[in-house]
């Protein structure tokens, strides 16, 4: 390992470019097992009609990105568990893309069943940007209705959820639906080139990898007066495993996906540990604040994975591969 090569990542593709690619003309190979279609135009129309489901930070951003493409795109329906969140999102989208928003009152849907109403609108594309605990149910509904889908990662929070996604995806393939997942790093040209170099043997046989997602943490949405327990947990979803899946699933999945992409395989074994060191207090639910996992691939390659949400520590969002002829760093 004397030849230490660094495969670095120049400027990332902008979010706008990412969605332009992802919702309209995705290249083969980008999506893993998810299906592709030739076109997402509504039948008999040249307008892409879009429905946004989950109008929080990412959903609002995804809608603005989708509406900022050169394609003939219109937002026609919005759905969120909470009306106040939907209203804020609507104003933000309107401020950015006024001419491409056509969401009258009767196509603004609030509540836990709102997603179905948006799917039932005449949109041909749905953006699923809710907490991942709801993703399998909402993806199934979108596929059943024959809608093309952009959905955020992660796709589920547990094994049963993953199996529902995989089964729904088989249906999506049969229906020739376009389906894209928000693993944005898979869409960056520089990263694609770097991963190809590694797959082509630039550092020899890869023997072990490391993946890090260390940051200070995310927002806390404290309990409000008169909230039901369900309203509280859905608002403060990051801290509840049935909605979030904890940090490995929710955030570190980006790094693990990169390693699986490099290896073109999934691990067959995982041994890990984690805990709560500084995450105390009544509004931080049940998730851990640090995790360490040793993954093993079928060929014996090890992946050492670390993630942490603790303020005022070393932050890292990167992956490293060590091979028989050198090492690579993806950041
Ligand atoms: N690819 C990326 O880099 C990236 C970046 C940020 C977030 N995300 C993903 O986007 C998703 C949303 O994250 P966010 O940061 O926007 O969170 P957020 O809390 O800002 O938004 C989630 C929204 O979904 C709504 N919601 C909750 N349950 C719902 C339901 N059953 N039906 C309809 N609406 C519902 C909430 O009220 C909220 O408005 C997560 O899966 C997250 O991992 C991905």
- Mean pLDDT across 183-204: 96
Architecture of domain 15-184: 3-Layer(aba) Sandwich (3.40)
* Residue to mutate (ligand 1; options 51, 52, 57; most atoms within 8 A of CB): 57
Whose CA is closest to atom 40 on ligand 1? 131
* Beta carbon of 55 within 6 Å of any ligand 1 atom: yes
* Beta carbon of 112 within 6 Å of any ligand 1 atom: yes
Whether the per-residue pLDDT at 316 is higher than 50: the answer is yes
For residue range 150-174, list pLDDT tens digits in order: 999 999 999 999 999 999 999 999 9
Whether the per-residue pLDDT at 222 is higher than 60: the answer is yes
**CA dist., res. 135 & res. 51, Å (int):** 15
Distance from the alpha carbon of residue 71 to the mean position of ligand 1, in angstroms: 25
Whose CA is closest to atom 37 on ligand 1? 81
* Residue to mutate (ligand 1; options 56, 132, 138, 233; most atoms within 8 A of CB): 56
Beta pairing class for 108-110 and 148-151? unpaired
Q: Which tokens go with 50?
A: 């879009």
For residue range 15-67, list pLDDT tens digits in order: 333 223 332 222 223 233 344 344 455 455 689 999 999 999 999 999 999 99
Question: What is the secondary structure of 121-146 as a DSSP string?
Answer: SS-SEEEE-S-GGGHHHHHHHHHHTT
* Beta carbon of 144 within 6 Å of any ligand 1 atom: no
**CA dist., res. 306 & res. 316, Å (int):** 10
Whose CA is closest to atom 7 on ligand 1? 58
Angle between helical axes of 15-24 and 57-67 (0-180°, round to 10): 70
- CA separation, residue 117 to residues 4, 56, 80 (Å): 54, 18, 11
Residue with tokens 């929710």: 250
* Beta carbon of 57 within 6 Å of any ligand 1 atom: yes
* Beta carbon of 182 within 6 Å of any ligand 1 atom: yes
For residue range 96-119, list pLDDT tens digits in order: 999 999 999 999 999 999 999 999
Which pLDDT score is estimated for 210?
98
Give the residue ranges of DSSP H helices in the chain: 15-24, 57-67, 83-97, 114-119, 135-144, 159-174, 189-199, 229-235, 241-244, 246-250, 253-263
- Phi first, then psi, for residue 66 (nearest 5°) are -65, -35
Task: From the options 3.30.43.10, 1.10.10.10, 3.30.930.10, 3.30.360.10, give the CATH code of 194-330.
Answer: 3.30.360.10
**CA dist., res. 90 & res. 102, Å (int):** 10
Model's pTM, two decimal places?
0.89
Domain ranges (residues) in the chain: 15-184, 194-330
Average pLDDT score, the chain: 89
Question: What is the secondary structure of 201-269 as a DSSP string?
Answer: TTTSSEEEEEEEEEE---------TT--HHHHHHHTGGG-HHHH-HHHHHTTHHHHHHHHHHHTS--SE
Pair 52, 118: CB distance under 8 Å: yes
Pair 70, 25: CB distance under 8 Å: no
* Beta carbon of 79 within 6 Å of any ligand 1 atom: yes
């Amino acid at each position: 390992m004397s030849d230490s090569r660094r495969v670095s990542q120049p400027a990332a593709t902008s979010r706008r470019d990412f969605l332009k690619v992802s919702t309209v003309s995705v290249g083969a190979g980008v999506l893993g097992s998810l299906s592709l279609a030739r076109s997402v135009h509504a039948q008999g129309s040249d307008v892409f009609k879009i429905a946004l489901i989950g109008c929080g930070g990412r959903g609002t951003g995804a809608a603005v990105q989708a509406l900022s493409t050169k394609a003939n795109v219109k937002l026609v329906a919005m759905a969120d568990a909470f009306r106040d969140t939907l209203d804020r999102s609507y104003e933000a989208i309107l401020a950015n893309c006024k001419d491409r928003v056509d969401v009258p009152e009767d196509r603004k849907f609030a509540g836990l069943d709102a997603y179905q109403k948006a799917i039932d609108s005449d949109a041909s594309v749905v953006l699923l940007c809710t907490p991942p605990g709801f993703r399998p149910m909402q993806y199934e509904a979108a596929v059943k209705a024959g809608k093309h889908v952009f959905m955020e990662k992660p796709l589920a929070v547990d094994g049963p959820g993953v199996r529902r996604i995989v089964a729904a995806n088989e249906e999506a393939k049969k229906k020739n639906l376009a389906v894209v997942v928000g693993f944005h790093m898979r869409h960056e040209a520089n990263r694609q080139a770097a991963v190809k170099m590694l797959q082509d043997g630039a550092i020899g046989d890869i023997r072990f990898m490391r993946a890090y997602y260390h940051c200070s943490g995310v927002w806390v949405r404290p309990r409000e007066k008169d909230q039901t327990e369900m309203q509280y947990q859905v608002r403060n979803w990051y801290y509840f495993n049935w909605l979030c899946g904890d940090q490995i699933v929710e955030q570190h999945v980006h790094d693990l996906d990169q390693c699986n992409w490099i290896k073109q395989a999934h691990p067959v074994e995982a041994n890990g540990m984690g805990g709560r060191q500084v995450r105390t207090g009544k509004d931080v639910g049940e998730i851990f604040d640090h995790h360490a996992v040793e993954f093993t691939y079928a060929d014996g390659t090890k992946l050492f994975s670390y993630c942490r949400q603790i303020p005022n520590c070393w932050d890292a969002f990167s992956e490293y591969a060590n091979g028989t002829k050198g090492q690579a760093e993806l950041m």
